Amino acid sequence: MNQVIISAVISLGAIGGAAAIILYFVAQKFKVIEDPRIDEVDEILPAANCGGCGYAGCRAFAEAIVKTGDLDNLYCPVGGNEMMKQIAPIIGVEAKEKEPEVAVVRCNGTRQYAPEKVEYDGPQSCAFAHSLFAGKSGCPNGCLGLDDCVESCDFDAMYMDEETGLPVIIEDNCVACGACVDTCPRDIIELRPKGKKDKRVFISCVNTEKGAVSRKHCSVSCIGCGQCVTACPFDAISMENNLAYIHPEKCKLCRLCVPICPTNAIVEANFPEMSDKLIEKAKENYTKQKEKKKGAGKAGEEKAKAKKATSTDKKTSASSEKKTQDKSISTSDAEKKEPRNDSEQTSKQKDKSSPDNPENK
Amino acid sequence: MNNQLTISSSPHVHGNWTIEKAMYGVVLAMIPAMLVSFYMFGLGALRVMLISVIACLAIEYIIQKYLIKGPVTITDGSAIVTGILLAFNVPTSIPTWMLIAGAIVAIGMGKMSFGGLGKNPFNPALVGRVFMLISFPAAMTTWPKPIMSRQYFSFSGLDEKVMDSITGPTPLGILQEQGPGAVTPDYVNHLLGSMSGSMGEISAIALILGGVYMLVRKIITWHIPVSYLLSSFLFAGILWLVDPTQYADPLFHMVTGGLMLGVFFMATDYVSSPMSKKGMLIFGFGTGVLTILIRVFTPYPEGVSFAILLMNAFTPLINSYTKPKRFGEKLPA
Amino acid sequence: MKTFKLGGIHPAENKMAASQPIEEFPLPKQGIIPVSQHLGAPAKVLVKRGDQVKTGQLVAETAGFISANVHSPYTGKVKKIDHVIDASGYRHQAIIIDVAENEEWEEGIDTSGDIIRQVTAEPNEITEKMKAKGIVGLGGATFPSHVKLMVPEGKKVEYLIINGVECEPYLTNDHRLMLEKAEEMMIGVSILMKGLGVNKAIIGIENNKMDAVEKLQSLVKDFDGISVEPLKVKYPQGGEKQLIKALINREVPSGKLPLEVGCVVNNVATAYAVYEAVQKNKPLIDRIVTVTGKSLKKTANLKVRIGTKFSELVEYVGGLPEDTGKIVAGGPMTGKAITSLDVPVIKGTAGILIMNKKEARQAEPRTCIRCAKCTEVCPQGLEPFLLHQFGELQKPEDAEVNGIMDCIECGSCNYTCPSNRPLLEYIRYGKAQTNEMIRNRKQK
């Protein structure tokens, strides 16, 4: 009996020992030498694997950081500046501060403002609806409301407001990974700097149709009237394809454009309620800026002036729909015929006038 | 809301083929075999049938409602099909609690654990049946004799006192025990269903009738039944030609045991059989060969369920290797 | 009787407009003429606001190799050039014309009803004429027809296949055309034959239109090389690959054009338009549109000028019924649901189908039960259930290997699916992904 036990112990021990030796050599042979700093960086990273940095996951991002050895184009929006500061000493560079960003939904076409005209029957996903038709309200740029973005969010930072039919971003949870921005087939969601004390002003519309057309399906769309462009004392607003855009790096959060917008398409976040005084001030500012910019126009060439005039006409008559449309056609035709110089010159004039503006204020 | 137009992508019309139509079509096709079993085994058959179907429906309902907390889809007919198939696969003498245990395994383990209808890799009824066969071998291999067992009925299965007098081995069981010399082929009775066996498998004629109905209604295609029948017939035939004293003749294999049930109702299960025509032929062929292999060379007298389950496991592999012929496919030069 | 072998379905035909003779539709008050009515680059607008145009005048010219001319179907004044919603659901450029009372035709256009039988034009003239008169394929794809006649070097065309199948349920416009304009259409076919330099043409017609088959067969003796072939009814026989397979049993290789097997396919309506363009100098400014639907008071086949709004056509057949749930431009299998009746008729509009609320709603999609019905009916021999998964999971590589680009989007899989799965929707989605992937690959 004893013999059996002993032989069993010995043979099993021998097999175990042999396996251990083989395993040791195999492990030595196939050892993968990896930079230990990758592990260190990976430890610090949030392990959310959201892809917000542009890499497949946190590990891949850590590898990229160690491999390139600098943090110029690498940034983890989830961890933010704090975390990048921790990572920087590991690879021996300075961390670059980046303004924290947050996702904003640039569409205000709620069920109330942009009534649904048709019903959609098909897979409940924006990607499909987008390829099929312009949307329930008819707006070819507006939110389709089928929550592709909400589903793409890994951080529970979005939900669908059942009443408005629009997605809502929970700012505290948003890490600005950009997943929703990539998902949205209509490029409605944008990453914007969080701003001072989380205050932001932005145009909540991406509709590029002419005002008269977009007004037909949405009462809060940007109609491209250009009043905000005129009103802005900092030249932070530009107009392209009938759509205004507030450049966050130039915007000083003065709120003077907000009450000017005839369709309330400019949205402000985390501000106190607008006082009557401020509204008055905005109106005053608008007339002041208008005259000033007109004056700057007079100094320019005659052609440029003519063009300005038509465009201001266009602004004022935005409410009367049909006229605007006809005029806008003629202006666009005129633009095509005119040589390029004009527009360049006008923009130069604008540039010239811009540095003065802050002083005025 | 009411006068809004609907936008959807083409096509805007739909054929009226639905899951329900397919499933209740199968149920309808099983009615002849059901009637035969009611005639042969009496109330006991009715008991097994009802308990099995109700248990399957109830378990699916409970799981969908309380475990998954999703939509309840017991009305689509798939649980009924599983229930009937499970009943078809057990002897009518089975005690009620065993049958319920089988139903729990069939629906719970065989179907719902994978995600419900359409996602189960194995035929749920067969999973339940094999579970019962392994767990309760005695009860699952005590076969009531047809007609004779009719008047004996109790909810807990057959009374032990009368057990011996009214049960008997199946023809395949005799074949397994004593060799082909001991079985006297009685094709007419075998076709009609006058033999011992599981409840639904006894009458080949009734099953063929149901199968033809399903083929006509286009619920199933001919590929699996034909290749299954042919391959098992050929394989059994080859063995028989090699040594008729040791192996039974192929016709005997055709009409006994659960072959017909398997051919028309279990191998053709949508979910667990291959998708392409070629794949179906391979599937049928494999099942046929495996059935005869198990019947002849293993201690189990019957191999249909094992053969189908084994081939079910191969289905994903078959699917990825057998692509349908594409239109305008570049032919190898 | 011949048909194609692989797959196919038999949707309910519902061709209730088949007995309605073609009616000339009156001129509308205003016409909307989109400049992108064809496959390929949108045409370039030649007129401007306030211009007077005559009927048949060129108002937008081709912009690119695959593009087509657009002519004014009306006499009147250009009201504006604007972006209007067309059947695609998005806004596209269009010329809006206020129609004048008195119609004045552009010079050189023969508006009489006489049939000109003698084909005098030379092959290159034929191509030129077709290009100038803006002829596009009227079967639905609206591919510029003159491009089809320009056979690349090294390729030989043996057959001209004329598609008179009209396999879409409900639609009857081709059917009526073959009955009422049979001779003109046959002359059109012989013009196309001359243009292509082939001596064999086969007209394929499904056997639910035996009257058309008989009518055309009675004319065949006057035309050399043209034969008429009745085909067994099966959808999608009108797909050109399926039609070629059915008629001459050749398979167009995957990813190739019918030219590869020596065929050029044209629709019967295109043949008629070619006749008008070459013999009568008339540009493509009108077409036959079937207005149909179960809930309509009457159905009609109307000869309509391009640019007429759908609403006027629907008004003509008794107005939009109360319970309208969906309006489809085209047939029920491949047509597009539109958002409003302000959409204009374009060159590719074969029909307007009004569906009631009950027909309009699609049943709730359910889980795939792997019944393989979709594989059974796919005329391209694909596995829709698999492709739809790849589309859903965004796996363009796998989708490409499994032939997603061969899908002709006939919708047979959707039609037959017992679980009402949106197979085709996902396959289209997958196709878009695969297309993008292939483009990216080519760029590298």
Q: Are residues C427 and C330 in the same domain?
A: no
Is position C331 within any domain?
yes
Q: Are residues C18 and C145 in the same domain?
A: yes
Query: Which residues in chain C touch residue A123, judged by CB atoms under 8 angstroms apart?
Result: 365, 422, 425-426
Residues C355 and C410 in one domain: no
Nearest to B4 among A116, A132, A133 (CB): A116
A96: left (phi over 0), alpha (psi -120 to 50) or beta: beta
Query: Are residues C414 and C295 located together in one domain of the fold?
Result: no
3-state secondary structure of C286: strand
- Whether B6 and A133 lie within 8 Å, measured CB to CB: no
| pLDDT above 70 coverage of chain C, percent | 100
- Reported as a pLDDT band with limits 50, 70 and 90, residue C297 is confident
CB proximity A123 to B under 8 Å: no
With a CB cutoff of 8 Å and minimum separation 6, the contacts of A47 are A58
Residue window 3-42, chain B: list those with CB within 8 Å of chain A.
4-9
Smallest CA–CA distance from C170 into chain B, residue: B13
Same domain, C150 and C185: yes
Lowest mean pLDDT among A59-63, A69-73, C90-94, C102-106: A69-73
Q: What is the pLDDT of residue B330?
A: 63
Residue C62 in domain = no
Q: Is residue C210 one of the residues assigned to a domain?
A: yes
Q: Are residues C329 and C402 in the same domain?
A: no
Cα C74-C80-C86 angle, rounded to 5 deg: 75
Task: Please choose, from the candidates B48, B37, B87, B307, the residue with its C-alpha nearest in 3D space to the C-alpha of residue B196.
Answer: B37
Residue A133 has its nearest CB partner, among C49, C89, C422, at C89
User: How remote is the C-alpha of C89 from its chain's centroid?
Assistant: 18
All residues of chain C having their beta carbon less than 8 Å from the beta carbon of residue B18 are 363, 418-420
Closest CA of chain A from C336, distance in Å = 9
Give the residues across from C205 on adjacent strands: C230
Which residues sit opposite C292 in a β-bridge? Answer: C353
Q: Which residues of C touch B7 (CB under 8 A)?
A: 89, 326, 337-339
CB contact under 8 A, B327 and C254: yes
* Domain A100-194 listed as CATH 3.30.70.20: yes
Domain total of chain C: 2
| Last residue in a domain, options C361, C391, C420 | C361
Q: Which residues of chain A have pLDDT under 70?
A: 1, 296-361
The C-alpha atoms of residue A267 and residue A269 are separated, in whole angstroms, by 7
* Residues A290-294: contacts with CB under 8 Å, at least 24 apart: A290/A230, A290/A231, A292/A353, A292/A360, A293/A230, A293/A350, A293/A353
Tell which of C326, C361, C396 closes a domain.
C361
Neighbour subunits, B (≥3 Cβ pairs < 8 A): A, C
Q: How many inter-chain contacts (A to B, CB under 8 Å) are there?
A: 26
B chain contacts of residue C251, beta-carbon cutoff 8 Å: 327-328
A36-91, which class in CATH? mainly alpha
Question: Of C81, C91, C429, which has the smallest distance from its Cβ to A329's Cβ?
Answer: C81
> Is the pLDDT confidence value at C64 over 80?
yes
Instruction: Report which DSSP code applies to B181.
Output: T
8 A C-beta contact, residue B287 and residue B311: yes
Distance CA C337, CA C168 (A): 15
Domain boundaries of chain B, sorted by first residue: 19-320
A117/chain B closest Cα distance in angstroms: 6
| C312 band by pLDDT with thresholds 50, 70 and 90 | very high
Domain final residue, candidates C361, C384, C403: C361
* Ranges assigned E (strand) in C214-306: 226-231, 263-267, 286-292, 300-305
User: Around Cβ C364, how many Cβ atoms within 10 Å?
Assistant: 8
Q: Is the peptide bond before B11 cis (omega within 30 degrees of 0)?
A: yes
Six token digits for residue C272: 């008629």
Is A278:A259 a contact under the CB 8 Å cutoff?
A: yes
Are A36-91 and A100-194 in the same CATH fold? Answer: no
- Given CB atoms, is A116 within the 8 Å cutoff of chain B? yes
Are the Cβ atoms of A119 and B9 closer than 8 angstroms? Answer: no
C50 to chain A, closest Cα gap in Å: 12
pLDDT-flagged residues of chain B (< 70):
1-3, 151-165, 185, 330-333
The chain A residue lying nearest B7, using CA atoms, is A120
- For residue A332, the surrounding DSSP H or E stretch is helix A321-337
Domain ranges of chain A: 36-91, 100-194, 197-361
Instruction: Give B219 to chain C, closest Cα distance, Å.
Output: 9
C418 plus C276 within the same structural domain: no
Whether residue A123 and residue C432 make contact (CB cut-off 8 A), yes or no, is no
* A122 interfaces chain B, CB cutoff of 8 Å: yes
Q: Which fold has domain B19-320?
A: Ammonium transporter fold (1.10.3430)
Q: C46 CA to chain B: closest CA distance, Å?
A: 34
* Claim to verify: residue C381 and residue C404 sit in the same structural domain: yes
- Both structure tokens of C59: 């108002």
User: Smallest Cβ distance to C381: which of B11, B19, B324?
Assistant: B324
Give the B:C interface size as CB pairs under 8 Å: 155
Residue B157, min C-alpha distance to chain C (Å): 35
The domain that holds C326 is classified in CATH as 3.40.50.11540
Could you tell me how many CB contacts below 8 A there are between chain A and chain C?
49
Partners of residue C379 in chain B, C-beta under 8 Å: 327
Check whether residue C187 and residue C302 sit in a common domain.
yes
Average pLDDT along chain C: 90
| Residue in chain B lying closest to A129 (CA) | B8
- Whether residues C322 and C425 fall in one domain: no
Nearest CA-CA partner of C57 in C136, C134, C138, C121: C134
Residue A80 CA to residue A76 CA, distance in Å, equals 6
The alpha carbon of residue B201 is apart from the nearest alpha carbon of chain C, in Å, by 24
Give residue C380's domain range.
Answer: 373-443
Question: How many other CB atoms are there within 10 angstroms of residue C239's CB atom?
Answer: 25
Q: What percent of chain A has pLDDT over 70?
A: 81
Contact across the interface for C332 and B11, Cβ inside 8 Å: yes
Same domain, residue pair C380 and C326: no
Residues C253 and C389 in one domain: no
Name the minimum distance, in Å, from the CA of C114 to any CA of chain B: 40
B-chain residues within 8 Å CB-CB of A132?
7-9
pLDDT given at position A313:
46
Q: Which of residues 102-141 of A touch C (CB under 8 A)?
A: 117-118, 121-123, 127-128, 131-134, 138, 140
Q: To probe the interface with B, which of C367, C375, C424 has the most B CB atoms within 10 Å?
A: C367
Mean pLDDT of C180-200: 92
The H or E element spanning position B254 is: helix B250-255
